[in-house]
Amino acid sequence: MGIHVAEMDTIGLVEVTSIGMGYRAQDAMLKAASVQLLLARTICSGKYLIAVSGDVASVESSVEAGAAASEGALIERRVISRLHPSVFPAISMAVDLPAEQFEALGIIETFTASTIVDVADAAAKAANIKLFRIHLAMAIGGKGFVLLTGDISSVEAAVAAAAPVAGAEGMLVSAIVIPSPRRELFREYI
């Protein structure tokens, strides 16, 4: 996937409508501040997504530079500090979910990839749940989604707390809680 987990707690994301502008924004972001490039790639619908990490001030400077270099192609920019430690492994698809951890299933879907990172962070901070997948835009039309599990009350609390993060910006597609999912729902994460 391209995200390498280190001791990080601030992430910056820039999503643009143009691949060429994405490369320009990425270059501006890396020149503006000392940040680590986590991800830079094309995503569905011909868009481009860039993710960086570092200290808060550096990430903010980097994201602002990327947004400024996007010249009308900017879809979204976002800086999330004090990121919950379970977010990076879930983005990297490095979460092993043993069968005994299959409990209630929460799914939150957003119109943009950048928004879903903020949503996942809010869910992880709101309740005792396990994030096991954060999907960023590939093969789903540029959307994002997060899958989480835990006991039913924790999953309901996490989804209830996280969905408004996307809803406030008009980016929420769906927020679903399945109390006793069939095991097959955990088989494939796309």
Is residue 165 domain-shared with residue 136, that is, in the same domain? yes
| Least-confidence region, from 22-31, 47-56, 99-108 | 99-108
E strand or H helix that includes residue 91:
helix 87-91
Is residue 58 domain-shared with residue 121, that is, in the same domain? no
Phi, psi angle pair for 141, to nearest 5°: 65, 30
Is residue 75 domain-shared with residue 94, that is, in the same domain? no
8 A C-beta contact, residue 47 and residue 27: no
The answer to the question of residue 4 being in a domain is: no
Is residue 57 domain-shared with residue 125, that is, in the same domain? no
Is residue 17 domain-shared with residue 73, that is, in the same domain? yes
Domain that includes residue 15, residue range:
11-80
Percent of the chain at pLDDT > 70 equals 88
CA–CA distances in Å: residue 173 to residues 30, 39, 108: 32, 24, 8
Is residue 141 domain-shared with residue 172, that is, in the same domain? yes
Q: Could you tell me the pLDDT band of residue 24, with boundaries at 50, 70 and 90? A: very high
- Higher-confidence residue of 168 and 137: namely 168
Give the count of domains, the chain: 2
The answer to the question of residue 45 being in a domain is: yes
Q: How many angstroms separate the CA atoms of 78 and 67, rounded?
A: 10
Which of 46, 61, 80 terminates a domain? The answer is 80
Does the pLDDT value for residue 46 go beyond 60? yes
Task: Determine the pLDDT at residue 8.
Answer: 61
130: left (phi over 0), alpha (psi -120 to 50) or beta: beta
Among 77-81, 128-132, 151-155, the range with the most confident prediction by mean pLDDT is 151-155
